[in-house]
Amino acid sequence: MLKMKTALLAFALTFASVPQAAAQMQWTDKIYLYVNFGVQVGSQDVEMASTFEVYEEPATLVGTTSLGSEPILADFGGGYKVGRNLAVGVGYVNYNTESDVTVVARIPHPIIFNQFRTVTVSAPGVGHMSQMLNFSAVWMMPYTNQIDFAFYAGPSIIFAKQDVVTGMTIAPEPGPDYSNPQVSAVEVTEQSKTSFGIHFGADAAYMVNKRYGVGGGIRYVWGSADFDGLADSVTLGGFQIVGGLRVRF
Protein backbone atom coordinates (compact mmCIF):
# COMPACT_ATOMS: atom_id res chain seq x y z
CA MET A 1 0.00 0.00 0.00
CA LEU A 2 2.87 2.40 0.80
CA LYS A 3 4.42 1.73 -2.62
CA MET A 4 1.13 2.53 -4.35
CA LYS A 5 0.74 5.79 -2.39
CA THR A 6 4.29 6.79 -3.36
CA ALA A 7 3.57 6.05 -7.02
CA LEU A 8 0.33 8.04 -6.92
CA LEU A 9 2.16 11.00 -5.38
CA ALA A 10 4.87 10.88 -8.07
CA PHE A 11 2.18 10.71 -10.76
CA ALA A 12 0.30 13.68 -9.27
CA LEU A 13 3.47 15.79 -9.02
CA THR A 14 4.34 15.01 -12.64
CA PHE A 15 0.86 16.01 -13.78
CA ALA A 16 0.98 19.24 -11.77
CA SER A 17 4.29 20.23 -13.36
CA VAL A 18 2.77 20.47 -16.86
CA PRO A 19 1.62 24.01 -17.64
CA GLN A 20 -2.14 24.34 -17.92
CA ALA A 21 -1.80 26.09 -21.26
CA ALA A 22 -0.65 22.82 -22.78
CA ALA A 23 -4.10 21.35 -22.20
CA GLN A 24 -5.53 23.77 -24.78
CA MET A 25 -3.43 22.39 -27.67
CA GLN A 26 -4.80 19.59 -29.82
CA TRP A 27 -2.88 16.39 -30.49
CA THR A 28 -2.83 16.06 -34.27
CA ASP A 29 -1.34 12.57 -34.74
CA LYS A 30 -3.50 9.46 -35.03
CA ILE A 31 -1.22 6.63 -33.88
CA TYR A 32 1.61 6.39 -31.37
CA LEU A 33 4.15 3.59 -30.87
CA TYR A 34 6.93 3.15 -28.33
CA VAL A 35 9.78 0.81 -27.45
CA ASN A 36 11.39 1.23 -24.04
CA PHE A 37 14.32 0.16 -21.97
CA GLY A 38 13.83 0.41 -18.25
CA VAL A 39 13.98 -1.00 -14.76
CA GLN A 40 11.46 -2.14 -12.19
CA VAL A 41 12.57 -0.84 -8.81
CA GLY A 42 11.81 -1.95 -5.28
CA SER A 43 12.09 -5.21 -3.39
CA GLN A 44 9.80 -7.82 -1.88
CA ASP A 45 10.65 -10.81 0.31
CA VAL A 46 8.67 -13.96 -0.49
CA GLU A 47 8.53 -16.62 2.21
CA MET A 48 8.27 -20.29 1.24
CA ALA A 49 6.83 -22.99 3.49
CA SER A 50 6.18 -26.54 2.25
CA THR A 51 5.59 -30.02 3.62
CA PHE A 52 6.83 -33.23 1.97
CA GLU A 53 7.24 -36.84 3.04
CA VAL A 54 10.48 -38.52 4.20
CA TYR A 55 10.59 -41.93 5.89
CA GLU A 56 6.78 -41.97 5.89
CA GLU A 57 6.66 -38.84 8.08
CA PRO A 58 6.03 -35.20 7.18
CA ALA A 59 9.14 -33.08 6.70
CA THR A 60 8.92 -29.30 6.51
CA LEU A 61 11.00 -26.60 4.87
CA VAL A 62 11.11 -22.81 5.00
CA GLY A 63 13.06 -20.30 2.95
CA THR A 64 12.91 -16.74 1.64
CA THR A 65 13.45 -15.45 -1.87
CA SER A 66 13.58 -11.81 -2.91
CA LEU A 67 12.02 -10.03 -5.88
CA GLY A 68 14.39 -7.11 -6.37
CA SER A 69 15.15 -4.28 -8.79
CA GLU A 70 15.86 -5.69 -12.24
CA PRO A 71 16.03 -4.41 -15.83
CA ILE A 72 12.81 -4.82 -17.79
CA LEU A 73 13.37 -7.40 -20.54
CA ALA A 74 10.73 -6.02 -22.92
CA ASP A 75 8.52 -2.93 -22.95
CA PHE A 76 6.61 -1.88 -26.07
CA GLY A 77 3.15 -0.85 -27.20
CA GLY A 78 1.04 1.64 -29.03
CA GLY A 79 -2.33 3.31 -29.32
CA TYR A 80 -4.91 4.99 -31.53
CA LYS A 81 -6.58 8.39 -31.26
CA VAL A 82 -10.32 8.28 -30.50
CA GLY A 83 -10.95 11.91 -29.50
CA ARG A 84 -9.42 15.37 -29.50
CA ASN A 85 -6.61 14.47 -27.14
CA LEU A 86 -7.78 11.00 -26.12
CA ALA A 87 -6.32 7.70 -27.26
CA VAL A 88 -6.66 4.06 -26.31
CA GLY A 89 -3.60 1.87 -26.15
CA VAL A 90 -2.09 -1.42 -25.13
CA GLY A 91 1.40 -2.21 -23.88
CA TYR A 92 3.46 -5.27 -22.99
CA VAL A 93 6.02 -5.47 -20.17
CA ASN A 94 8.22 -8.44 -19.23
CA TYR A 95 9.97 -8.48 -15.83
CA ASN A 96 12.22 -11.35 -14.74
CA THR A 97 14.27 -12.00 -11.61
CA GLU A 98 15.93 -14.94 -9.91
CA SER A 99 17.94 -15.55 -6.74
CA ASP A 100 19.49 -18.32 -4.69
CA VAL A 101 17.30 -19.41 -1.77
CA THR A 102 18.63 -20.78 1.50
CA VAL A 103 16.22 -23.46 2.70
CA VAL A 104 16.05 -24.83 6.23
CA ALA A 105 14.32 -28.22 6.53
CA ARG A 106 13.26 -30.48 9.42
CA ILE A 107 13.93 -34.05 8.34
CA PRO A 108 12.46 -37.05 10.22
CA HIS A 109 14.79 -39.62 11.73
CA PRO A 110 14.97 -42.86 9.69
CA ILE A 111 14.49 -45.08 12.75
CA ILE A 112 13.04 -43.05 15.65
CA PHE A 113 9.51 -41.75 15.13
CA ASN A 114 8.80 -38.03 15.69
CA GLN A 115 12.47 -37.08 15.98
CA PHE A 116 13.73 -34.49 13.52
CA ARG A 117 17.09 -33.31 12.27
CA THR A 118 17.74 -29.86 10.77
CA VAL A 119 19.48 -29.44 7.43
CA THR A 120 20.28 -26.26 5.51
CA VAL A 121 20.72 -26.23 1.74
CA SER A 122 20.85 -23.66 -1.07
CA ALA A 123 18.44 -23.80 -4.01
CA PRO A 124 20.04 -21.86 -6.90
CA GLY A 125 18.21 -19.85 -9.54
CA VAL A 126 14.74 -19.68 -8.01
CA GLY A 127 12.97 -17.46 -10.52
CA HIS A 128 9.97 -15.18 -10.97
CA MET A 129 8.52 -13.78 -14.19
CA SER A 130 5.67 -11.33 -14.74
CA GLN A 131 4.33 -10.60 -18.21
CA MET A 132 1.99 -7.60 -18.12
CA LEU A 133 -0.60 -6.52 -20.66
CA ASN A 134 -1.64 -2.94 -19.91
CA PHE A 135 -4.83 -1.58 -21.53
CA SER A 136 -4.83 2.21 -21.27
CA ALA A 137 -6.92 5.31 -21.69
CA VAL A 138 -4.35 7.95 -22.69
CA TRP A 139 -4.65 11.73 -22.46
CA MET A 140 -2.15 13.42 -24.79
CA MET A 141 -1.07 16.94 -23.85
CA PRO A 142 1.05 18.68 -26.53
CA TYR A 143 3.29 21.38 -25.05
CA THR A 144 5.08 22.55 -28.20
CA ASN A 145 5.28 21.22 -31.75
CA GLN A 146 8.10 18.91 -30.60
CA ILE A 147 7.24 18.13 -26.98
CA ASP A 148 4.19 16.33 -25.67
CA PHE A 149 3.13 14.68 -22.44
CA ALA A 150 0.94 11.64 -21.99
CA PHE A 151 -0.97 10.50 -18.89
CA TYR A 152 -2.55 7.09 -18.86
CA ALA A 153 -4.28 4.52 -16.68
CA GLY A 154 -6.30 1.35 -17.00
CA PRO A 155 -6.61 -2.36 -16.23
CA SER A 156 -3.78 -4.87 -16.47
CA ILE A 157 -3.63 -8.61 -17.04
CA ILE A 158 -0.53 -10.15 -15.45
CA PHE A 159 0.70 -13.62 -16.34
CA ALA A 160 3.02 -14.64 -13.50
CA LYS A 161 5.34 -17.61 -13.02
CA GLN A 162 6.95 -18.32 -9.65
CA ASP A 163 9.44 -21.02 -8.69
CA VAL A 164 8.68 -22.60 -5.31
CA VAL A 165 10.92 -25.00 -3.36
CA THR A 166 8.52 -27.84 -2.59
CA GLY A 167 10.72 -30.69 -1.40
CA MET A 168 14.11 -32.39 -1.35
CA THR A 169 15.58 -35.85 -1.72
CA ILE A 170 17.65 -37.26 1.15
CA ALA A 171 20.65 -39.44 0.25
CA PRO A 172 20.76 -42.94 1.76
CA GLU A 173 21.90 -42.77 5.39
CA PRO A 174 24.14 -45.67 6.44
CA GLY A 175 24.14 -44.78 10.14
CA PRO A 176 24.85 -45.48 12.86
CA ASP A 177 24.15 -42.02 14.37
CA TYR A 178 21.99 -40.52 11.53
CA SER A 179 22.83 -37.04 12.78
CA ASN A 180 23.80 -35.44 9.50
CA PRO A 181 21.32 -36.07 6.66
CA GLN A 182 22.64 -35.22 3.20
CA VAL A 183 20.45 -33.64 0.52
CA SER A 184 20.99 -35.17 -2.93
CA ALA A 185 18.43 -33.02 -4.79
CA VAL A 186 16.17 -30.02 -4.21
CA GLU A 187 12.74 -30.02 -5.83
CA VAL A 188 11.70 -26.70 -7.37
CA THR A 189 8.23 -26.41 -8.91
CA GLU A 190 7.20 -23.69 -11.35
CA GLN A 191 3.68 -22.39 -10.78
CA SER A 192 1.67 -20.14 -13.10
CA LYS A 193 -1.08 -17.68 -12.20
CA THR A 194 -3.09 -15.04 -14.04
CA SER A 195 -3.93 -11.87 -12.12
CA PHE A 196 -6.02 -8.81 -12.93
CA GLY A 197 -4.63 -5.50 -11.73
CA ILE A 198 -4.28 -1.82 -12.56
CA HIS A 199 -1.63 0.54 -13.87
CA PHE A 200 -1.09 4.26 -14.29
CA GLY A 201 1.77 6.40 -15.54
CA ALA A 202 3.11 9.50 -17.26
CA ASP A 203 5.38 9.95 -20.26
CA ALA A 204 7.20 12.84 -21.92
CA ALA A 205 8.35 12.77 -25.55
CA TYR A 206 10.66 14.97 -27.62
CA MET A 207 10.09 14.52 -31.36
CA VAL A 208 13.30 14.92 -33.37
CA ASN A 209 11.17 15.13 -36.52
CA LYS A 210 7.48 14.66 -37.29
CA ARG A 211 7.63 10.87 -36.97
CA TYR A 212 10.49 9.88 -34.65
CA GLY A 213 11.50 10.98 -31.19
CA VAL A 214 12.74 9.92 -27.77
CA GLY A 215 11.04 9.94 -24.42
CA GLY A 216 10.89 8.70 -20.89
CA GLY A 217 8.37 8.12 -18.17
CA ILE A 218 7.25 6.49 -14.96
CA ARG A 219 4.68 3.76 -14.49
CA TYR A 220 3.18 1.79 -11.64
CA VAL A 221 1.63 -1.64 -12.21
CA TRP A 222 -0.12 -3.52 -9.41
CA GLY A 223 -1.53 -7.03 -9.14
CA SER A 224 -1.48 -9.89 -6.65
CA ALA A 225 -1.37 -13.68 -6.80
CA ASP A 226 -1.37 -16.64 -4.40
CA PHE A 227 1.00 -19.54 -5.05
CA ASP A 228 0.95 -22.90 -3.29
CA GLY A 229 3.92 -23.21 -0.98
CA LEU A 230 4.20 -19.47 -0.29
CA ALA A 231 3.20 -18.02 3.06
CA ASP A 232 1.65 -14.81 1.65
CA SER A 233 0.34 -13.35 -1.58
CA VAL A 234 2.94 -12.07 -4.03
CA THR A 235 2.60 -8.48 -5.19
CA LEU A 236 3.02 -8.42 -8.95
CA GLY A 237 4.40 -5.48 -10.91
CA GLY A 238 5.78 -2.40 -9.22
CA PHE A 239 7.27 1.01 -9.90
CA GLN A 240 8.91 1.20 -13.34
CA ILE A 241 11.19 3.83 -14.87
CA VAL A 242 11.42 3.66 -18.66
CA GLY A 243 12.80 5.47 -21.70
CA GLY A 244 13.30 4.86 -25.39
CA LEU A 245 11.97 5.42 -28.92
CA ARG A 246 8.72 7.29 -29.68
CA VAL A 247 6.97 7.08 -33.07
CA ARG A 248 3.99 9.10 -34.33
CA PHE A 249 1.79 8.70 -37.42
* Confidence (pLDDT) at 7: 52
Q: What is the DSSP letter of 157?
A: E
Q: Give me the average pLDDT of each 10-residue run along the chain (249 residues).
A: 54 51 76 98 93 96 93 97 97 95 96 95 94 98 94 98 96 90 95 97 97 98 96 95 98
pTM beyond 0.75: yes
Q: What is the DSSP letter of 27?
A: P
Domain ranges in the chain? 2-248
Q: What is the DSSP letter of 180?
A: S
The CATH number corresponding to 2-248 among 3.40.47.10, 3.30.360.10, 2.60.200.30, 2.40.160.20 equals: 2.40.160.20
Non-local (6+) Cβ contacts of 247 within 8 A are 32, 33, 34, 211, 212, 213
The rounded distance, in Å, linking the Cα atoms of 220 and 40 is 9
